[in-house]
Structure 1
Amino acid sequence: MIFRRRKPILLGSLIMVLVAAVFALPVFGELGNENDFDDPSAEAVVARDAVVAATGTYAAPQLVALVRLDAPASSAAGQARIRAVARELRHPGVAAVTAYEPGGDERLVSRDGRSTYLLATYKEDPRGATEAIEDRMRAFPWVTLGGGAIAAPQVGDQVSADILRAEIIAFPLLFLLSLLVFRSAVSALLPLAVGGATILLSFLAIRLINAHVNPMSVYALNLINGLGLGLAIDYSLFMVSRFREELAAGRSREEALRVTLRTAGHVVFFSAVTVACALAALIVFRQRFLYSMGIGGALCALIAAGVSLTLLPALLGALGERVNAGGPRRWKDAIAREAAGERSGFWYRHSRRVMRRPVPYSVAAGVLLVAMGLPFLRIEFTGVDASVLPKEQSARVVDDAIKQKFPPSETSPVYVAVPPGTPAAELRAFAARLPAPVAPPRVGEGRIDLIAPGQPLGEAAKDFVADVRAVDAPFEFWVGGQTAGFVDQQASLRDHLPLALAILCATTLIILFVMLRSVVLPIKALVMNLLTLSAAFGLMVLVFQDGHLDWLFRFDSQGAIESSQPVLLFAVAFGLSTDYGVFLLGRIKELHDSGLSNEEAVALGLQRTGRIVTFAAALMVVALGCFVTASVIFIKQLGFGVAVAVLIDATIVRALLVPALMRMLGDWNWWVPRRIARLLPA
């Protein structure tokens, strides 16, 4: 049907992509990142909302002005600068400005006495305060602005810049690699066309969801960009390679396209569904960062398959033999030689060598993967603040200065929100029972302000939050602030993780069972995926937590991993590992069903997919690995983690574990109870 209607399909696809290009690109300016890592039902969020409802102002300062005084803070020159900055911070959208005065709060003054910072607390409706203050402060070169109101847009702008840089790096590299694997300029351009269409259509889908269903996170665009390009290239590789294989066998264009869709198209469909289900497991989490990644990634996988099964076949049907155009004659001769001598090819000989000694190979590979994963047992977690930005960004400059040069302060306080109408006497009595290791509690309208010891995300601060929450009170209260929010985020992730893992594992097992008609192979694929992921997690701890290779990837280690990254990496890398397993096992099953023995099907299947899967993995590493060029550190962590997971899966797992275990299990690979087999579709 696609062959006969290829011209209408091509025209319709062109119109759709052009429309997507016009209406999708504004999505960069519409998606935000405010409160992306919060669970809306968490106690810290309830506390924040209670304070806003009671006072009409934000619960914590939104803007921090770091002032270099070049004089003692109590001197006339120092006070003149402080008063000048305080005057410019006053705006109709600012509820309060906190500044140092002689004899006042010494925590606002640096340890050397020559710097200070001022805090601006916004009203519920800030009325463009940030933009106005930024304009005013340009006249003061000795002032640097930071805080949440500055950090959030800087992170969003940095994400957009990182995506553009990744595309500039990735597209030329991907074309060169595609040219190498396809040995034809025309074939090499097809994956990039499919990838570009996938990304634009996915951006449009996210923009529509953001506008009409639920707000989405700007970080989802990073995943769509890398995953869409990678999956589209993977699917194109298998579709185009199979089409060229059928043409070389003497089939007509129409027959070659029909066989391609029935075989490679079948596998692409199951692969996309598997990846989409793996990423859709993220939707159970309450953090917008994670469920946006889940929605965006799942849609991207399905759109990539849709484009690969409609636009790409139409292009192949229109091109026919010309799909091999644009390459030197020796490249075409090499393709013919490989097809004619596949039983003497590298992957065939390698798989036979592994299957002759399966136990030593499987044990060595398993021990290596477990050893690589051991560092994950000592993982430490951190949250998202201005420290994720590059050092030169103003919000990062302010954050570093306050952490290093000032005592613990009110830039990120712990506060207790109480119900409206709480008797003042009860409130004061409750405040007197609260722990106060740094400064006495300060009772305000509907809240009590506290200062935690140490850094906001440190162990001392987290213990302090737990101690405050453990104090008895005759009324209900809620503890909020940056530290409390981080504690609640970790608790929320722990609570929702079992359900997400259950969905991910169950859907993967069911889909692979239906596709492969085997009980054993899906379980084996699941175990190998877990080994791959544990190794990737271990390497991520070594690099980003311990700081190894920081000179290569250009980052400053936070001594921990952003707490949502293991969850996100698990879903993305698990889906991609299953993706490659589907391609390999699908071809092995096809050969086994044709009458070949288990060992011959494995060896020939690995030979026919080995080169393609290797290059597909390399292309995916480029597409997603370009995230390591990002300046936002947790995006860099995601790119590194996915890239190493794909590399491990394409080398250690596919080249060693798969043939070894397939040989050890023999015909048990294909076992399925007869009663269940009768229920499966033909």
Structure 2
Amino acid sequence: MFSTILRLALNRTRLVLVLSAVVVVVMAAVGFGAFGKLQGGGFDDPGAPSSRAKTLIDREFGGASDLVLLVTPDNGGPDTPAAARAGRTLTAALKGEPTVDNVVSYWDHPGPALASKDGTKALVLAHVKGGDNDIADRAKTLVGRYTGDRGAVDVRAGGAAAVNNDVNSQVTKDLALAESIAVPITMILLVLAFGSLVAALLPLVIGLIAVVGTFAELYVLGSVTDVSVFAVNITTALGLGLGIDYALLMVNRFRENLAAGHEVPDALRRTLRTAGRTIAFSAGTVAAALAALLVFPQFFLRSFAYAGIGVVVIAALAALIVIPALLAALGHRVNAGRLPWSSTVRSSDAPLWGRMASTVMRRPAITALPAAAVLLVLASPLLGVTFGSPDERVLPESAQSRSVAQTLDREFPGDDSGAIQVVTTGPAANGPLDGYATAVSKLPGVQRVTASTGTYTDGARAAAGPEAAALSRPTAQRLTVVQEPGLGSGDSQKLVREVRAVAAPAGTHTLVGGTDAELVDSKHAIGSRLPLAIGLVAVTTFVLLFLFTGSVVQPLRALVLNGLSLCAAIGAMVWIFQDGHLTGLLGFTPMPMDTSMTVLMFCVAFGLSMDYEVFVTSRIKELHDQGADTEAAVSGGLSRTGRLVTMAAALLAVSFFAFGTGKVSFIQMFGLGSGLAILIDAVAVRGILVPAAMRLLGRAAWYAPPALRCLHGKAGLSDADDEQEPPVRQEPHPTAAR
């Protein structure tokens, strides 16, 4: 493969560049439509009981309320003539909307459930029709149409639909801000690192191709399956970061070969033979880690696999095809645009890293134990981790939907928009339904149960209210289970399980839904598949690193050290975002760790740590294969890759840390956690723990059973010289005739 790439780069330089430009233009045109294909939501398992309950309630009962309009009269209460007229007008207009159903208004059914404790505010509830993507678009339209000053009343929007609308809007703003910060900083760092404007531009070209190409992929996938809008975040961060990483490796190695006195064709051949193969394996390890997200049923997580694998593959292909052609065209002009203070081409050697490795290997236990202890301290908050799902608290306090949610909690004790929803899968007679509702109402933590047969409190039944008729259908019955105020998240999830354990009315089955049930099901869907995902990551990583190194010890060493650095990074995020440290600086509300985002951060950070594992190990193995002992190979390998890995990690961390400037807490957590994991891996693991582990392992670091050594000899990918390359002719530079 690399021989073919070399021939094309040298013999068909213009053709490769022209075709590449055409492909990029086509991908940009296709990718422009990706945003119209992406969807909100996707956090729930579509096969879970709560999802089936939601589907049944939508079909039979017009859906649960997910849009809450909080109405505050300008003067007096909601029963004053002016407020009543405005409220009825608002209700009628909302009922006339084709995109909503099941409108319940205080002005249709006055009562404590729809009025505040002090009688100054009232509610209008509605269900927004459609799937996640339809709801997001329709909620945005409805919020814009019905909120604000409406004559004698002020209207604000809350509920799940409004929260999702605010989250999507805020993430869009945050993404634009993150890019406006990351791109200029990245460009400055690249110029400083290379000391040359031309060389610094090449990694940005690959990053741009990776982002544009992945948007085109998302357009295609979004046309045939559900893809989350949040996939855009990982596309921009990973596209820019990995594109730069891979191009950085290629350009750096090419410049190193030129500086060593090799002619352009030979320098390019050596670059592809070493850096090119490193990129191929690196891309494989990152893609394997991200592919584990495909085992989860939530399309939110699967979407990150679609985007992440696409970014990795496109970035690697661009680095392996476009960069060689660009380098062949530029030749020594890759060093053009040299900065005034950069009088020479900077070497990739970093003697400081080599000396650090030598120091560590002289006293491996003494130097490694403190570093490992620090990482274990950072990981210790994981012992108290709790998991949850995103709600209005992920938004800043200024967000309208969050303000409405706080008002509902504080002033509307009768509000049942967050109630547990129970629906029967068939018709139920009044007697069995009465017995079931009575049993549920006796459960600890239940304030009341409302069914078509009445309202139940502690086993006592009161007469059915006007809303009871809407809870009965010929084919199903619906019940709302309102929890006691102040019930904690853990107790609410326990209550969901207890409700599910109550025997259903005779002749039916029950499905339990609602926000808390969705959290229970989401945690089960992820937790039950997490061992499989981790196993797939471990096995594929082990196989790829074995094929790369020929050792069974190196993959195990990499898995242990990378797992330690990941635990440290995630533990630090627990300390910050769950335990509430740095809230004043970052402006978030402490809450349980987002289950989906934590899994996502694990897979992304693990893949990227393996990216740098391959970078470093490739040079160590190269020196080891040339006859150097383990200590010399490690110190030499780190001396030659330390600066590159540090530079690449800093550039990639900038892309992720930029998300920390956002206002949605789970995006902040993902960005800061991923960036921290990258830096921990690049500095503590590569600089200290890897040399210490290699020194302690000694010759055993390269051990493999004879059968596997034979297998590696046939299937492995080594850095040994290629067979004699066929003659190549390099196209003349455009300026050669001048």
Fold shared by both chains (TM-score > 0.5): yes
* 2:597 counterpart of 1:565: yes
Question: 2:67 matched to which residue of 1?
Answer: 63
* 2:153 counterpart of 1:144: no
Question: 2:197 matched to which residue of 1?
Answer: 185
Paired amino acid for 1:154:
D
In the TM superposition, what are the counterparts of 1:656-667 in structure 2 within 5 Å? 656-667=688-699
Q: 1:138, CA displacement in angstroms?
A: 4.8
1:408 and 1:454 in contact (8 A); partners too:
no
Paired amino acid for 1:647:
L
CA displacement 1:429-451 (0-9 Å, x = unmatched): 32222226322322312211221
Match of 1:465 among 496, 508, 520: 496
In the TM superposition, what are the counterparts of 1:402-421 in structure 2 within 5 Å? 402-407=408-413, 409-421=415-427
Alpha-carbon separation, structure 2, partners of 1:71 and 1:27: 49
Question: 2:539 matched to which residue of 1?
Answer: 506
- Consecutive unaligned residues of structure 1, counting only runs of 5 or more, are none
Question: 1:669 matched to which residue of 2?
Answer: 701
Alpha-carbon separation, structure 2, partners of 1:675 and 1:132: 67
Q: 1:73, CA displacement in angstroms?
A: 4.4
* 2:204 counterpart of 1:198: no
Alpha-carbon separation, structure 1, partners of 2:535 and 2:414: 42
Match of 1:174 among 186, 200, 203: 186
Which secondary structure state, in structure 2, belongs to the residue aligned with residue 502 of structure 1?
A: helix
* 2:59 counterpart of 1:53: yes
* 2:237 counterpart of 1:221: no
Question: 2:724 matched to which residue of 1?
Answer: none
* 2:451 counterpart of 1:442: yes
**TM-score when normalising by structure 1:** 0.94
Match of 2:294 among 273, 279, 283: 283
Match of 2:633 among 598, 601, 617: 601
Which secondary structure state, in structure 1, belongs to the residue aligned with residue 10 of structure 2?
A: coil
2:577 and 2:669 in contact (8 A); partners too:
yes
Q: 1:366, CA displacement in angstroms?
A: 1.2
CA displacement 1:192-214 (0-9 Å, x = unmatched): 111011000011001101103x1
2:426 and 2:509 in contact (8 A); partners too:
no
Which secondary structure state, in structure 1, belongs to the residue aligned with residue 344 of structure 2?
A: helix
Question: 1:588 matched to which residue of 2?
Answer: 620
2:209 and 2:314 in contact (8 A); partners too:
no
Q: Give aligned pairs, total.
A: 672
Over the matched positions of the two proteins, sequence identity in percent amounts to: 38
Question: 1:12 matched to which residue of 2?
Answer: 19
2:195 and 2:345 in contact (8 A); partners too:
no
Report which stretch shifted further, 289-298 or 407-416: 407-416
* 2:333 counterpart of 1:327: no
Q: 1:679, CA displacement in angstroms?
A: 1.2
Alpha-carbon separation, structure 1, partners of 2:430 and 2:138: 33
Question: 1:377 matched to which residue of 2?
Answer: 383
Q: 1:296, CA displacement in angstroms?
A: 1.1
Which secondary structure state, in structure 2, belongs to the residue aligned with residue 501 of structure 1?
A: helix
Alpha-carbon separation, structure 2, partners of 1:195 and 1:124: 37
CA displacement 1:503-545 (0-9 Å, x = unmatched): 0111011100110111111101000011001101111011111
Paired amino acid for 2:632:
E
Q: 1:137, CA displacement in angstroms?
A: 4.1
Match of 1:453 among 477, 484, 487: 484
Q: Structure 1 472/652 Cα, relative in aligned 2: closer, same or farther at 3 Å?
A: same
Which secondary structure state, in structure 1, belongs to the residue aligned with residue 170 of structure 2?
A: helix
Q: Structure 1 132/266 Cα, relative in aligned 2: closer, same or farther at 3 Å?
A: closer
Which secondary structure state, in structure 2, belongs to the residue aligned with residue 392 of structure 1?
A: coil
Q: 1:29, CA displacement in angstroms?
A: 2.7
Q: Structure 1 28/433 Cα, relative in aligned 2: closer, same or farther at 3 Å?
A: same
Alpha-carbon separation, structure 1, partners of 2:528 and 2:170: 31
Match of 1:270 among 281, 285, 291: 281
Alpha-carbon separation, structure 1, partners of 2:232 and 2:544: 27
Alpha-carbon separation, structure 2, partners of 1:380 and 1:630: 23
In the TM superposition, what are the counterparts of 1:278-677 in structure 2 within 5 Å? 278-328=289-339, 330-333=341-344, 335=346, 345-407=351-413, 409-435=415-441, 437-443=446-452, 444-445=471-472, 446=476, 447-454=478-485, 458-473=489-504, 474=506, 475-553=508-586, 555-677=587-709
CA displacement 1:221-257 (0-9 Å, x = unmatched): 1011101111111111111110001111111111111
Report which stretch shifted further, 512-521 or 460-469: 460-469
Q: Structure 1 623/133 Cα, relative in aligned 2: closer, same or farther at 3 Å?
A: closer
Which secondary structure state, in structure 1, belongs to the residue aligned with residue 227 of structure 2?
A: coil
Q: 1:377, CA displacement in angstroms?
A: 1.1
Alpha-carbon separation, structure 2, partners of 1:40 and 1:589: 47
2:249 and 2:644 in contact (8 A); partners too:
yes
Paired amino acid for 1:448:
L
Alpha-carbon separation, structure 2, partners of 1:51 and 1:96: 11
Alpha-carbon separation, structure 2, partners of 1:393 and 1:319: 51
Q: 1:329, CA displacement in angstroms?
A: 5.8
Alpha-carbon separation, structure 2, partners of 1:228 and 1:96: 44
1:27 and 1:207 in contact (8 A); partners too:
yes
Q: 1:101, CA displacement in angstroms?
A: 5.7
Which secondary structure state, in structure 2, belongs to the residue aligned with residue 143 of structure 1?
A: strand
Match of 2:261 among 250, 271, 286: 250
Match of 2:165 among 149, 153, 165: 153
2:128 and 2:161 in contact (8 A); partners too:
no
Match of 2:94 among 89, 97, 101: 89
Question: 2:730 matched to which residue of 1?
Answer: none
Q: 1:334, CA displacement in angstroms?
A: 6.4
Report which stretch shifted further, 147-156 or 636-645: 147-156
Q: Structure 1 493/456 Cα, relative in aligned 2: closer, same or farther at 3 Å?
A: farther
In the TM superposition, what are the counterparts of 1:122-133 in structure 2 within 5 Å? 122=128, 130=139, 131=141
Report which stretch shifted further, 504-513 or 122-131: 122-131
Alpha-carbon separation, structure 1, partners of 2:631 and 2:138: 70
Which secondary structure state, in structure 2, belongs to the residue aligned with residue 333 of structure 1?
A: coil
Alpha-carbon separation, structure 2, partners of 1:647 and 1:216: 30
Question: 1:23 matched to which residue of 2?
Answer: 30
- Consecutive unaligned residues of structure 2, counting only runs of 5 or more, are 1-6, 453-470, 717-738
Report which stretch shifted further, 663-672 or 112-121: 112-121
1:92 and 1:129 in contact (8 A); partners too:
no
Which secondary structure state, in structure 2, belongs to the residue aligned with residue 307 of structure 1?
A: helix
Paired amino acid for 2:570:
F
Q: 1:80, CA displacement in angstroms?
A: 4.4
Paired amino acid for 2:291:
A
Q: 1:605, CA displacement in angstroms?
A: 0.5
Q: Structure 1 514/102 Cα, relative in aligned 2: closer, same or farther at 3 Å?
A: closer
Paired amino acid for 1:469:
R
1:108 and 1:117 in contact (8 A); partners too:
yes
Q: 1:452, CA displacement in angstroms?
A: 2.0
Which secondary structure state, in structure 1, belongs to the residue aligned with residue 11 of structure 2?
A: coil
Report which stretch shifted further, 358-367 or 408-417: 408-417
Q: Structure 1 14/235 Cα, relative in aligned 2: closer, same or farther at 3 Å?
A: same
RMSD: 2.2
Question: 2:456 matched to which residue of 1?
Answer: none
Q: Structure 1 476/136 Cα, relative in aligned 2: closer, same or farther at 3 Å?
A: closer
1:592 and 1:601 in contact (8 A); partners too:
yes
Q: Structure 1 609/321 Cα, relative in aligned 2: closer, same or farther at 3 Å?
A: same
Report which stretch shifted further, 120-129 or 508-517: 120-129
Q: 1:184, CA displacement in angstroms?
A: 0.7
Alpha-carbon separation, structure 1, partners of 2:608 and 2:675: 10
2:114 and 2:414 in contact (8 A); partners too:
no
Q: 1:83, CA displacement in angstroms?
A: 2.9
